[in-house]
Amino acid sequence: MIPLPKIDYVKPETLEAAVAYLADSNKQGIVFAGGTDILVQLKGQGPKCHVACATVSHEGNGDKVSQAERLIDIKGIPELKELKEDEKGSLTIGAAVTLDELARFCREHEPWSDLEQSARVIGSEQVRNRATVVGNICRASPCADTVPALVCLGAEVDVAGPQGHRSLLLEELITGPGALALSSDEIVVAVRVPEPGPDSALVYLKHGIRQAMEIAIVSVATLICGDAHSGVVTRARITLGSVAPTPIRVQAAERLLVKQGISRQTLTEASELAAQAAQPISDIRGSAAYRREMVKVYTRRAVEQAWENLK
């Protein structure tokens, strides 16, 4: 059997203890939640996603994992299992919440039904039963399936460290393939998602060859808020995955849709703007030119579908 390197394992019961382990300079620790990526990386088979999607370098958390001497299992910290709406309707997804738990929550809670798809299309049942939403985010893979929709929704992450708590926008957290705007002794505690609101529709489309166990060639999430009858768009968000070092928003297209509404003409223009914003690479999954073309197709499809869902 493929051996794992000899590595220490701890399971703190409080957030403070987890942060203390992270800050311990004697043994380099990494946060361990679902383990479905970290254990693959530790077995020495390399960071799969990065090979597929990285546009700049193959560094980042692949290195951090291979150098780790201690796994800090956060699943014993009760507050990290939190998955609930607050009084303002924002959703808190704790760092130990699995993809399966989020998918089921979304299916049972109407305001979040559009978010289910992002959690549902990752890996297999076996993976979704273990892998966490925050793990998917903190892997900082350009093709992370949960990120584009969460960015569209304006999600923030709560971060804890020796200096206390802070929060930052999800789109500011991910700085490159495998790279996060965190110091080594900080941990993402939760992702907080503002309620999309009744006059909004969120769509996530993932382009792959298979319908399951797939890494996106191109992915597009869009959030459209407005009134389909009067044709007014009050807010538009378009986020692309797998076509840049990080998931990227296409603000030029967002502005266009808000300014001019949704028509055949603006759909074409918005899709062109998305294709221009993409910085894809060629790899085993698709060429840069193909990816750019697919950005066009899927942006159009996603916005059309969201608009349709608003009706």
Partner 1 sequence: MKKISTQINGESLELEIESHWTLLYLLREKLQMTGTHSSCEMGDCGACTVLMDGKAVASCLVLAAEADGAELLTVEGLSRNGELDPVQRAFVKAGASQCGFCTPGMVMATKGLLAKNPHPTEDQIRHGLAGNICRCTGYVKIVDAVLSVAERDGD
- 125 near partner 1, judged by CB under 8 A: yes
Element (H, E) at 156: strand 156-161
Least distance to partner 1 from the beta carbon of 121, Å?
10
Q: How many CB atoms lie within 10 A of CB 193?
A: 22
Q: What is the C-alpha separation between 34 and 237, in angstroms, rounded?
A: 30
Place of tokens 């957030």: 15
Phi then psi for residue 51, to 5 deg, are: -60, -40
Q: What is the C-alpha separation between 177 and 143, in angstroms, rounded?
A: 9
Would you say 130 or 249 has its CB closer to partner 1? 130
Q: How many residues bind partner 1 (CB under 8 A)?
A: 31
* Residue of 19, 53, 54, 71 that binds partner 1 (CB under 8 A): 71
- 213 near partner 1, judged by CB under 8 A: yes
Give the per-residue contact string, 80-119, with partner 1 (x = CB under 8 A; - = no): --------------------x-------------------
- 5 near partner 1, judged by CB under 8 A: yes
Please answer whether residues 134 and 180 qualify as being in contact, where contact means their C-beta atoms are separated by less than 8 angstroms: no
> With CB under 8 A as the contact rule, which of the stretches 3-11, 137-145, 228-236, 271-279 interacts with partner 1?
3-11
Phi then psi for residue 84, to 5 deg, are: -160, 160
- Give the closest residue to 177 by CA, choosing from 261, 62, 268, 86: 62
Least distance to partner 1 from the beta carbon of 37, Å?
9
Would you say 31 or 244 has its CB closer to partner 1? 31
Helix (H, G, I), strand (E, B) or coil at 57: coil
Footprint of partner 1 (CB under 8 A)? 1-9, 11, 35-36, 39-40, 43, 45, 71, 73, 75, 100, 123-127, 129-130, 210-213
